[in-house]
Chain A
Amino acid sequence: MSDVDRSIAEAPLPTAGTLRRRKNLFYQVTRFVAFNFRMMKMVTRAHH
Chain B
Amino acid sequence: MARVVILGAGISGHTAALHLQRQLKNKAEIIVVTPNSNWNWIPSNIWVGVGKMTKDQVTFPLAPIYKRKHIGFRQAKAVAIHPEGSPDNPQGFVDIVYTDPTRSGQEEQLTYDYLIVATGPKLNFAATPGLGPDGNSWSVCTAGHAEQSAAALETIIEALKAGERKTLVIGVGHGTCTCEGAAFEYTFNVEHELRERGVRELADVVYLSNEYDLGDLGVGGMTFAQNGFETSSKMWTESLFRERGVRAILRAHVEKVDPGVIHYEELDGSKHTLDFDFAMLLPPFRGVDMKAYANNGDDITDDLFAPNGFLRVDADYAAKPFEEWTPEDWPKTYQCPRYANVFGVGIAFAPPHAISEPRKSPNGTVISPAPPRTGMPSGVMGRTVALSIAERIRRGDQAPLRTASMAAMGAACIASAGTGLRKGSAAAITMYPIIPDRKRFPGSGRDLTQTSGEIGLSGHWTKLLLHYLFIYKAKARFGWFMIPE
* A1-48 with Cβ < 8 A to chain B: 2, 4-5, 7-9, 11-14, 19, 21-23, 25, 28-29, 31-32, 35-36, 38-47
| Chain B residues within an 8 Å CB radius of A29 | 458
Knowing A13-B242, A22-B425 touch, does A28 contact B249 (C-beta < 8 A)?
Answer: no
Report whether A36 and B410 are in contact in the complex, using a CB–CB cutoff of 8 Å.
no
Knowing A28-B457, A32-B458, A47-B485 touch, does A39 contact B380 (C-beta < 8 A)?
Answer: no
* B406-435 with Cβ < 8 A to chain A: 409-412, 422-423, 425, 428, 430, 432
Distance, CA A16 to CA B234, complexed state (A): 22
Report whether B248 and A38 are in contact in the complex, using a CB–CB cutoff of 8 Å.
no
Distance, CA A38 to CA B459, complexed state (A): 13
In the complex, residue of chain A having the shortest beta-carbon distance to the beta carbon of B456: A22
- Mostly, the A contact residues are helix
Report whether B242 and A9 are in contact in the complex, using a CB–CB cutoff of 8 Å.
yes
In the complex, residue of chain A having the shortest beta-carbon distance to the beta carbon of B236: A11
In the complex, residue of chain B having the shortest beta-carbon distance to the beta carbon of A14: B243
Report whether A42 and B432 are in contact in the complex, using a CB–CB cutoff of 8 Å.
yes
Contact partner, A42, options B214, B250, B412, Cβ 8 Å: B412
Q: Give B205 Cβ to nearest chain A Cβ, in Å.
A: 13
Q: Give A47 Cβ to nearest chain B Cβ, in Å.
A: 6
| Chain A residues within an 8 Å CB radius of B389 | none
Report whether A22 and B485 are in contact in the complex, using a CB–CB cutoff of 8 Å.
no
Q: Is residue B239 contacting chain A, with contact meaning CB distance below 8 A?
A: yes
Contact partner, B462, options A2, A19, A36, A46, Cβ 8 Å: A36
Distance, CA A41 to CA B484, complexed state (A): 11
Distance, CA A38 to CA B423, complexed state (A): 24
In the complex, residue of chain A having the shortest beta-carbon distance to the beta carbon of B450: A42
Q: Is residue B264 contacting chain A, with contact meaning CB distance below 8 A?
A: no
Distance, CA A38 to CA B413, complexed state (A): 12
Report whether B461 and A11 are in contact in the complex, using a CB–CB cutoff of 8 Å.
no
A-B contact count (CB 8 A): 96
In the complex, residue of chain B having the shortest beta-carbon distance to the beta carbon of A38: B430
Contact partner, B376, options A7, A41, A43, Cβ 8 Å: A43
Q: Is residue B247 contacting chain A, with contact meaning CB distance below 8 A?
A: yes
| Chain A residues within an 8 Å CB radius of B410 | 42-43, 45-46
Q: Is residue B241 contacting chain A, with contact meaning CB distance below 8 A?
A: yes
In the complex, residue of chain B having the shortest beta-carbon distance to the beta carbon of A41: B450
| Chain B residues within an 8 Å CB radius of A14 | 239, 243
| Chain A residues within an 8 Å CB radius of B258 | none
Q: Is residue B448 contacting chain A, with contact meaning CB distance below 8 A?
A: no
In the complex, residue of chain A having the shortest beta-carbon distance to the beta carbon of B461: A32
In the complex, residue of chain B having the shortest beta-carbon distance to the beta carbon of A40: B484
Distance, CA A5 to CA B246, complexed state (A): 10
Q: Give B237 Cβ to nearest chain A Cβ, in Å.
A: 8
Report whether A35 and B235 are in contact in the complex, using a CB–CB cutoff of 8 Å.
no
Report whether A8 and B242 are in contact in the complex, using a CB–CB cutoff of 8 Å.
yes
Knowing A28-B456, A35-B458, A38-B450 touch, does A46 contact B238 (C-beta < 8 A)?
Answer: no
In the complex, residue of chain A having the shortest beta-carbon distance to the beta carbon of B383: A47
Report whether B450 and A28 are in contact in the complex, using a CB–CB cutoff of 8 Å.
no
Q: Give A48 Cβ to nearest chain B Cβ, in Å.
A: 9
* B432-479 with Cβ < 8 A to chain A: 432, 450, 452, 454-459, 461-462, 465
Contacts A/B (CB < 8 Å), 20 sampled: A4-B249, A4-B250, A5-B248, A13-B239, A14-B243, A19-B243, A21-B456, A23-B457, A25-B457, A28-B456, A28-B458, A31-B454, A31-B458, A32-B458, A32-B461, A42-B450, A44-B484, A45-B410, A46-B484, A47-B485
Which chain B residues have a beta carbon within 8 Å of chain A's beta carbons? 214, 234-235, 238-239, 241-243, 247-250, 376, 380, 383, 404, 409-412, 422-423, 425, 428, 430, 432, 450, 452, 454-459, 461-462, 465, 484-485
Q: Given A7-B234, A13-B242, A28-B461, list of 4 further CB < 8 A pairs?
A: A35-B430, A42-B410, A43-B412, A47-B383
